[in-house]
Amino acid sequence: MTSFRIAVLISGTGTNLQALLDQLHSPGGPIEIVGVASSRSEAMGLRRAEAAGVESAVFPLADYEDRGARDRALGDWLDSLGVELVVLAGFMELLTPEFIGRFRDRIVNVHPSLLPAFPGLRAIERALEAEVERTGVTVHFVDEGVDTGPIVLQEALELSYPADIAEIEERVHGVEHRLLPRAVRQIAAERSRDE
């Protein structure tokens, strides 16, 4: 059996990375996380990768001439690991159109809203400010727009007001930790069937 090889890109805490490590990752098994890349050297997620024995690397923008050079280096690293799917899990940086083209249909992102509602930053806060009845989580393929690519899975969450933002954030993260591994497992199953 050959593993479906994924890489996870992070910038911070990495609780979604941990969910993927706990629920999906098995070295030599059906799905293997073969690399974790961070945009920041102090990201706590790097320690999670280390604890799981997964190779990691840091690609700080400041170390490169520009974003294009950083994304080329990142892409070369991912290719050297034979990555079939790149998972953005709290990766807080824009990727160049060249990078997105290089990994076309092979990048997914987890976003804390029911897209197309509330793309971009502060999605949870903005949903609460708009007093929407439901928000949720979306896993989608990444294209050149901001949170615009084809949707893989969504899960909704009912809201009532007044809302406690910390509590809602916790519930949203709980949904993310279920939905992202499910979406990755679904893509892996589809892609291995297509082979």
Name the residues annotated as catalytic: 111
- Of 29-68, which residues contact ligand GRF (CB under 6 A)? none
How many residues comprise the chain?
Answer: 195
Listed ranges 11-19, 59-67, 127-135, 148-156: which one lies at the site for ligand GRF (CB under 6 A): 11-19
Alpha carbon of 16 to those of 21, 88, 175, 182: distances in Å? 9, 9, 10, 12
Task: For residues 53 and 82, give the distance between their C-alpha atoms in angstroms, rounded to a whole number.
Answer: 17
90 binds ligand GRF (CB under 6 A): yes
Listed ranges 13-21, 125-133, 141-149, 186-194: which one lies at the site for ligand GRF (CB under 6 A): 13-21
Question: Binding residue for ligand GRF (CB under 6 A) from 112, 136, 149, 181?
Answer: 112
Exposed / middle / buried, residue 53 (Cβ in 10 Å: 0-12, 13-18, 19+): exposed
Question: Binding residue for ligand GRF (CB under 6 A) from 13, 23, 148, 154?
Answer: 13
Shorter beta-carbon distance to ligand GRF: residue 78 or 175: 175
C-alpha dihedral sign at 11, 89, 83, 55: positive
181 binds ligand GRF (CB under 6 A): no
DSSP helix, strand, coil percent of the chain (3-state; round to 5): 40, 20, 40
Shorter beta-carbon distance to ligand GRF: residue 48 or 102: 48
C-beta nearest to ligand GRF: residue = 90
Question: Binding residue for ligand GRF (CB under 6 A) from 4, 14, 100, 181?
Answer: 14
Strand order in the sheet with 85-88: 56-58, 31-38, 4-10, 85-88, 107-111, 134-141, 151-158
Listed ranges 33-41, 49-57, 94-102, 110-118: which one lies at the site for ligand GRF (CB under 6 A): 110-118
Q: Which of 98, 82, 135 is nearest to 113 (CA)?
A: 135
Minimum separation from the CB atom of position 65 to ligand GRF (A): 27
Shorter beta-carbon distance to ligand GRF: residue 3 or 16: 16
Residues that bind ligand GRF (CB under 6 A): 10, 12-16, 89-90, 110-112, 173, 176
